């Protein structure tokens, strides 16, 4: 507890047995201990719930488990927020561990202000195998763009943050997180609506967390395919994107298909060779810029290619759906 304000950590989980122990350990060991940690489980079929139960037995007054019948994060997080009367909400994630000062730094950055959301730096974990290469790729602007929580070192106002801390009354005034048809992008949608009201989103590098990325390239493909569809949801809902960069993977996919068809039908390889050459130069740049051994660098290059293609395909798929269906399929809780 911090002063007279109460603090609740909220998170939604589904089959997080690999990471939930580390996540909860980092939360209960904060220098400023949260009053409650509310976990919304979306119907886990692994050992997630039993592991949470073990933590509850050691921290019965702090850790609370609720049911998320809708399964998706947006629903679970909003249900968790509605299950507490705490003044401040700290949004957490089962794939993430938090520095010991995460809560205290978040509260200091919030500084008693209303209609302000704060968040900080996200660092990828150094797990062995593909996960390490994927984490390395996440540090490359060419792979994932200039997200401030991955690259920025100076505090300031931003479009969005990773996770975030804010006042519960502001969260509820905004109707919490919305479930988009894609089942993703709840944070981007939330902070877009936040800023549309003239409210402030701030990045503070002293707020630090470590994210555990996907452990296979197939899982990475599925993840970014979903992100691409979600970005199309955002475009159809709000009529604009924060910037044009998300359209680059779509252009890459379209040009690859178009130049490939041209080569097959006419035998002219020129456009395809030029496109692959330009893309290849960027991928080589990833290999030379990320940290790690040769295997990690090569894996990061592969991960970048997977990210570009899957995201582009997802965005293209999402753009084919009507705005009316997107709006009709968006839900609040």
List, for residues 7-42, the tens digit of each pLDDT value.
999 999 999 999 999 999 999 999 999 999 999 999
Residue 11: name the closest of 186, 199, 200, 272 by CA.
Answer: 186
Distances (CA, A) of 75 to 9, 84, 193, 333: 15, 15, 17, 6
- The separation between CA 33 and the C-alpha centre of its own chain, rounded to angstroms, equals 24
Asked if residue 239 and residue 208 are part of one domain, the reply reads no
Asked if residue 252 and residue 177 are part of one domain, the reply reads no
Helical residues (DSSP H) of 111-185, grouped into ranges: 130-137, 141-144, 148-151, 168-173
Asked if residue 169 and residue 260 are part of one domain, the reply reads no
- The separation between CA 28 and the C-alpha centre of its own chain, rounded to angstroms, equals 22
State the CB neighbour count (10 A cutoff) for residue 153: 8
Residue 229 lies in a domain: no
For the stretch 144-158, pLDDT in tens is 776 666 667 788 999
Residue 1 lies in a domain: no
Asked if residue 239 and residue 201 are part of one domain, the reply reads no
For the stretch 264-306, pLDDT in tens is 999 999 999 999 999 999 998 888 888 888 999 999 999 999 9
Calpha distance 214→223 (Å, rounded): 8
Residues 6+ apart with CB under 8 A from 50: none
Of the segments 58-67, 205-214, 319-328, which one has the largest average pLDDT value? 58-67
**Element containing residue 256 per DSSP (H, E):** helix 247-266
Domain boundary among 213, 243, 267: 213
Asked if residue 192 and residue 52 are part of one domain, the reply reads yes
The answer, yes or no, to whether residue 136 has pLDDT greater than 60, is yes
Domain of residue 295 covers 235-328
């Amino acid at each position: 507890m911090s002063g007279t304000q109460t603090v609740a950590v909220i998170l939604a989980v589904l089959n997080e047995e690999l990471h939930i122990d580390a996540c909860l350990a980092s939360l209960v060991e904060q220098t400023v201990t949260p009053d409650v940690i509310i976990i919304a489980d979306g119907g886990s079929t692994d050992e997630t719930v039993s592991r949470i139960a073990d933590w509850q037995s050691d921290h019965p007054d702090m850790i609370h488990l609720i049911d998320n019948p809708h399964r998706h994060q947006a629903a679970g997080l909003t249900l968790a927020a509605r299950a507490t009367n705490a003044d401040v909400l700290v949004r957490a994630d089962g794939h993430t561990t938090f520095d010991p000062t995460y809560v205290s730094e978040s509260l200091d950055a919030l500084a008693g202000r209303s209609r302000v959301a704060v968040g900080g730096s996200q660092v990828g974990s150094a797990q062995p195998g593909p996960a390490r290469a994927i984490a390395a790729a996440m540090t490359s602007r060419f792979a994932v763009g200039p997200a401030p929580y991955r690259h920025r070192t100076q505090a300031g106002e931003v479009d969005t943050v990773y996770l975030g801390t804010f006042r519960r009354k502001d969260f509820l005034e905004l109707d919490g997180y919305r479930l988009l048809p894609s089942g993703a992008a709840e944070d981007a949608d939330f902070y877009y609506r936040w800023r549309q009201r003239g409210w402030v989103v701030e990045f503070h590098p002293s707020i630090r967390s470590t994210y555990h990325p996907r452990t296979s390239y197939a899982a990475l493909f599925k993840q970014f395919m979903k992100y691409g569809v979600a970005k199309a949801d955002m475009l159809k809902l709000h009529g604009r994107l924060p910037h044009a960069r998300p359209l680059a993977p779509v252009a890459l996919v379209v040009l690859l298909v178009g130049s490939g068809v041209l080569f097959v039908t006419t035998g002219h390889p020129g456009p395809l060779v030029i496109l692959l050459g330009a893309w290849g130069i960027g991928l080589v740049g990833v290999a030379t810029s990320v940290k790690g051994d040769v295997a990690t660098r090569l894996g990061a290059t592969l991960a970048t290619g997977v990210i570009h293609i899957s995201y582009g395909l997802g965005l293209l798929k999402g753009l084919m759906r009507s705005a009316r269906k997107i709006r009709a399929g968006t839900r609040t809780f």
